[in-house]
Amino acid sequence: MAAIHGKDTKPEMVVRRWLWGHGYRYRLNHPRLPGKPDIVMRNYRTCIFVNGCFWHGHNVSLSSVPSPKGEGSREIENSECCKIPKTNRDFWVAKIRRNQERDMKVMHELASMGWHSITVWECELKPKIREKTLESLVYTLNKIFLQDHSVRRYEMPEEAPLLAAEDIPEYNTTPE
């Protein structure tokens, strides 16, 4: 596991090169944000996490399996892109579950700070569907930008507006 790195992974580099090539600018692994997101886009107030399917348990289902001691333990079942090793399975199940819980905690913290979170999975960046995934990422970014930067319409007050020549009773300074 010493050869596994958390930064500059191949899937992350694919997303970064595509975004940069299409004119999107970003920062990497911002230390002041919770979870140090892989890609931070300040103009969009968006953090992009590029997750490996195995390490973050993509599409795995948690099921209750009774243990021999009688307690109800929770087991992770394999998915297409996340195969749990058969050796030392308890360790890997616990590790993946901790990673999922930490991911959810980080996303909630970012949301409470007003940041959007987008997760791109490693299996979504395979050559057959890569372009579709990255186009949907850009669509989401543009939608976020338009929602956050939309022009607020001015609403007229319910009262009839006063004309400039009318006296306003609260501001009348002449003594009576």
Angle between helices 130-148 and 10-21 (to 10 degrees): 60
Alpha-carbon distance of 161 to 30, in angstroms, equals 49
Q: Tokens 């021999």 belong to which residue?
A: 68
Q: Evaluate if residue 88 carries a pLDDT over 80.
A: yes
- pLDDT for the residue 118: 92
Helix ranges (H only) for the chain are 10-21, 53-56, 89-112, 130-148
Q: Is 57 helix (H, G, I), strand (E, B) or coil?
A: coil
Q: Evaluate if residue 70 carries a pLDDT over 60.
A: no
Of the candidate ranges 48-52, 58-62, 164-168, the one whose mean pLDDT is the lowest = 164-168
In this prediction, residues 70-78 reach a mean pLDDT of 58
- pLDDT for the residue 80: 73
Gyration radius from the chain CA atoms: 25
Tens-digit pLDDT profile for residues 110-130: 999 999 999 999 888 899 998
Which amino acid is it at 36? K
Band of the pLDDT at 103, cuts 50, 70, 90? very high
DSSP 39-75: EEEGGGTEEEEEE-HHHHTTT-EEEEEE-TTS-EEEE
Which amino acid is it at 52? G
Report how far apart, in Å, the C-alpha atoms of 144 and of each of 3, 24, 85, 133, 140 are.
Answer: 36, 14, 38, 17, 6
Q: 0.75 exceeded by the pTM?
A: no
